Amino acid sequence: MNKIIQSLINEVVQIEVSGKKQLKGTVIDLGSDMIVLFNGIDFVYIPLVHIQNFAVDRDNEDDLKAPMEFPSIISDENNEDLTFGEVLLKAKGKYVEIYVTGGHTLHGCISSIMSDYLVFDSPIYKTMYIALSHLKWLIPYSQNEKPYGLDDRKTTIQSDQELLPNTFEVQVEKLASEIVVFNIDGNKSFIGKLNNIEGQIVEIQTARKNSIYVNLQHIKTLHKV
């Protein structure tokens, strides 16, 4: 456990996350590779790898209050080192808000977790494939809360029940010849027909039949149109 961050338990901090996103809140818990922040409304689970820098907000100008209840996902009593992977497993099948890229977060449900990506069911974008290395933070929904106020019938998980590849690269390969979107809502978003993948290079063809070549390591989200 990181002793520097451990000393900040119950302190209000300002955190810069990858993508120049700013988060502020009270440090509630931490694990070997993540930190839990309470922003006054939600518990935010942030992988340490995406924390660019942080500082203690001694003045607490926003008057952030400590939570009145425990987070829904916490360290086990006999295991101090809660990992972000364990958080994902405990969040599977539940509604969450996640941030990956662009100006907005994504809302939906984690239906499957593979070696380096997860399957995310969104009421807006339907089945999405999210590279784990680009997942910046996760917020579990409170009990009985549903995205957009939809009822159970309209929020039923819609993912295909086919056997999922273990790696993101093979999942990308499976969508060859499909119209797809890479990096939804990001400044490096691409839409087109997935033509080919070789090594780390993915070819996508635009509507006017121009080819764009994208580095697989920089594909953060993927979904079919």
Domain chopping of the chain, boundaries: 3-65+82-155, 168-224
Residue 80's pLDDT is what?
Answer: 65
Instruction: Decide if 216 contacts 169 (C-beta within 8 A).
Output: yes
What are the CA-CA distances from residue 67 to residues 6, 40, 107, 166, 218 (Å)? 18, 7, 23, 38, 36
Within this chain, domains 3-65+82-155 and 168-224 share the same CATH topology: yes
Residue 61's pLDDT is what?
Answer: 77
Q: What is the 3-state secondary structure (H, E, C) of 160-222?
A: CCCCCCCCHHHHHHHCCCCEEEECCCCCCCEEEEEEEEECCEEEEECCCCCEEEEEHHHCCEE
Cβ neighbour number for residue 214 with a 10 Å cutoff: 20
What are the CA-CA distances from residue 17 to residues 51, 99, 115 (Å)? 5, 10, 23
CATH hierarchy code of domain 3-65+82-155: 2.30.30.600
Q: What is the pTM of this model?
A: 0.92
Q: What is the per-residue pLDDT across 46-85, written as a single tens digit (0 to 9) for each?
A: 999 999 999 998 887 788 888 989 898 887 666 567 899 9
Let me know if domain 168-224 sits in CATH 3.20.20.70. Answer: no
Residue 156's pLDDT is what?
Answer: 56
What is d(CA 175, CA 164) in angstroms, rounded to the nearest whole number? 12
Residue 154's pLDDT is what?
Answer: 58
Among 40-49, 157-166, 210-219, whose mean pLDDT is lowest? 157-166
Maximum distance among all Cα pairs of the chain, rounded to whole angstroms? 58
Q: What is the per-residue pLDDT across 79-120, written as a single tens digit (0 to 9) for each?
A: 567 899 999 999 999 999 999 999 899 999 999 999 999 999
Q: What is the per-residue pLDDT across 12-30, written as a single tens digit (0 to 9) for each?
A: 999 999 989 999 999 998 8
Mean pLDDT of 146-175: 80
Q: What token pair was written down for 74? A: 């916490």
What is d(CA 213, CA 211) in angstroms, rounded to the nearest whole number? 7
Instruction: Decide if 15 contacts 46 (C-beta within 8 A).
Output: yes
pLDDT over 70 at 153, yes or no: no
Q: State the average pLDDT for the chain.
A: 91
pLDDT band at 183 (very low <50, low <70, confident <90, very high): very high
Percent of the chain with pLDDT strictly greater than 70: 92
pLDDT band at 210 (very low <50, low <70, confident <90, very high): very high
Residue 116's pLDDT is what?
Answer: 98
Mean pLDDT of 135-154: 87
